[in-house]
A and B are shown apart, each in its own frame.
Chain A
Amino acid sequence: MDKVIVTVLLTVGGVVAALAVFNGFYPAIIESSGAVTSATSKVSDRIGSRIDIIQVADNSTAVDAWVKNIGTVNIDSVERSDVFYGPEDNFSRVTYGGDTPPYWDYQFEGSYTRWQPTVTIKITVHLAASPDSGTYIMKMVTPNGIFDETTFSVD
């Protein structure tokens, strides 16, 4: 009789222990797998992202810049990029969209609708007035932190 009770207790204890081990390890394993996958995806995304500002110049009360995706992955949510513009010693972040300058917007060159590799977008920084003569900086930072910047002069 005692042996049966001990066996039952051991069985129950074993099952509880197994459940405890399973509940403890499995989520951790799944989470760590997910974290590794997510981190890998982000690292791959960053590794595969690259942009190049190929031309920038003032155009009356706007500044136009053509930025090319020279990476190996699509860059999505372009509007969540950061654009910095201004004189080289006093530039600032420009907000995306809106009606009141300064703000920036973009359009795809050609018939493209996604910023895929080799595709170029035209970024326009709308200004309240024509920029004064001098040296200016234009910098773009994509949502995943990849950036390119260039200096240009305004006559």
Chain B
Amino acid sequence: MDTAIISLVCIAVLIVGMVTVTFNAFQAATSVADSLKEMEEQASDIRLTQISASTWPAHTVCVIAYQGSGGNGFLRTADIASGGQIADSVEDSLEFDSADSYQPSIVHISDDVYAIAYRNSASNGSLKTVRIAAGGQIADATIDTLVFEASGCYEPCMLHVCGSTYAIAYRGPADLGYLKTVQIGDDGQIADAVLDTLEFDGSQAYEPDLVYVSKDIFGIAYRGGADYGHVSTVGIAAGGEITDTVIDTLQFDSSRAYEPDIVRVAGDVYAIAYEGAGSGGYVTTVEITSDGAITDAAMDTLRYDPSRGSEPDMVPVAGGVYAIAHRGADSDGFLTTVEIAASGQITDTVIDSLEFDTADSYEPSMAALSETVYAVAYRDSFGAGRLRTVEIAVNGQITDTVIDTLQFDSSACNRPCMVRVRDSIRLMVTNQGQTALARYSRWDVIAQYRSGSTSYLTYLEYTTDNPPADNQWTVEGIYLPDETPEVYNLDILDPGEKMKLTIDLKPDIAAGTTGRITISTPNGVTAQCLVKEY
């Protein structure tokens, strides 16, 4: 009897043990299955999630600085739709100097602050800061003024160096080439003294044009002694200290080179457009390494306009295509596209050409408004200020007619200098997947770009405020595929819908450079968008 009881106890212990093991194994299997199910759901979620990002087509406001009525300095803003249609009247106007103001060069400083370097009525170099809102409204008074050169300043050209440091190259006393650095705060306040000065050419330096080369190296193209074409390199530290001597110099044209305009092509290759021998329009490529060394000879040259190529302004179009606005035959306004390879080779024939004004057109200043729409501001045959928009395809083909025209100053306009008014970056994120997307605070937006000589990699904070503050982003709206506001499932990015993201970067992407914005959904699906700052 006892033996039976003991046996039963043993059997019970064994059964309990087996049940425990089985139960635990079952629990384990269930837990693993749950995890697998969760991951499968998430994997499926990721598979079904797909987004794309691109820039949102938007209207552009341009600001034109020029010498206007009475020889005084003026600013005018014009609103241009994404298709190139110009508003019928200027948005706003400011007489920034009520005395003679020559050859203004305008650059963006920060947010709504801009700086204008010009020759004032005493022929001195003057620098003023102003406020221009994204919509084109110009504050009624200038912010600050500095006379940076009191002994003669001609044809100043200003460029951002780093942070609050800016460089101004100009033809100074005795026609020598000068380079100065100044400090301008984000609020437009200009430091009372120049940071540093270099006489970069002791012979002659007309119409200098600055270009960024590498971290602290800058290039200057100019018309040097005997009117030959020169390009020199100098070092400028972030704090504004300029190297005591130029690093290297190349005489790229030993005939003549009036009003050179230099742009970077790719890597160490730079292109210079200028009025050369016989007043023809020339473009030449040179090699400048990141340490400022210039290869001893020009790489290639093209005479893109045999008759005349005065006052050229060159802007990159896309993929090795460059557009040059210039005063051509009979002093009419011309636009020519050329192809320049990354190796510096220039295609022997131009891609296309358009006579954008069949009457006299002086001193054109061009700005890219989008990938295919460009604006040209110039002095027309009446001496008035005129703005025209044209379409240039990415392959360089120019549409045969101009898109629109505005006479922005009917009285006078000399040496207009045009830039786009900075606005927030607007991206379009399209939900190309099959799942609805929300929880925007769990999205990631990261910007990689260059400003001045500094590279930035910035993680942007999400905010529900619109407009966002510096280095923040927000959802401005969600739209149906036809870009009308969404109707159902509000605030959720449903499949097929488009979301407008507004991003406020500080500092801004440098003009003429391209930034990269990476956007990630909460489940890690990413899209990237290149943002070109024209």
Contacts and interface: CB of A to CB of B under 8 A. Distances in A.
A66 interface: yes
Contacts of B520: 52, 54-55, 68, 120
A120 B24 contact: no
Nearest to B34: A44
B3 A10 contact: yes
Given A10-B3, A14-B2, A70-B46, A54 B526 contact: yes
A52 to B, nearest CB: 4
Nearest to B518: A55
Interface in B424-453: 439, 441-442, 444, 446, 448
Interface in A1-34: 7, 10-11, 14-15, 17-18, 21-22, 25-26, 28-29, 32-33
B454 to A, nearest CB: 9
A8 B457 CA distance: 85
A37 B24 contact: yes
A137 interface: no
A36 interface: yes
Interface in B183-215: none
A66 B446 contact: yes
Contacts of B442: 118-119
B518 to A, nearest CB: 5
Contacts of A101: none
Nearest to B446: A55
Interface in B401-419: none
Contacts of B28: 36-37, 39-40
B444 A44 contact: no
A71 to B, nearest CB: 8
Contacts of B36: 47
A57 B21 contact: no
Contact of B518 (A54, A70, A110): A54
Contacts of B487: none
B513 to A, nearest CB: 12
Interface string B196-237: 000000000000000000000000000000000000000000
Contacts of B457: 55, 57, 59, 64
Nearest to A109: B459
Given A36-B24, A54-B446, A70-B524, A17 B10 contact: yes
Nearest to A45: B35
A15 B6 contact: yes
Contacts of A37: 24, 27-28
Interface string B450-492: 0000010101010000000000000000000000000000000
The A interface is mostly helix, strand or loop, or mixed, namely helix
- Counting chain A residues whose Cβ lies within 8 A of the other chain, the interface size class is 35 or more
A48 interface: yes
B6 A44 contact: no
A57 to B, nearest CB: 5
A72 interface: yes
Contacts of B526: 52, 54-55
B39 A48 contact: yes
B444 A66 contact: yes
A55 B458 CA distance: 11
A22 B7 CA distance: 12
Interface string A65-98: 0101011100000000000000000000000000
A118 B6 contact: no
Contacts of B3: 10, 14
19 contacts: A10-B3, A15-B6, A18-B9, A18-B13, A21-B13, A29-B21, A37-B27, A40-B32, A44-B32, A47-B39, A54-B518, A55-B448, A55-B520, A55-B526, A70-B523, A70-B524, A71-B39, A72-B38, A72-B39
Q: Which 10 A-B pairs have the closest CB atoms?
A: A14-B6, A70-B524, A40-B28, A52-B524, A44-B35, A29-B17, A47-B35, A33-B24, A118-B522, A118-B442
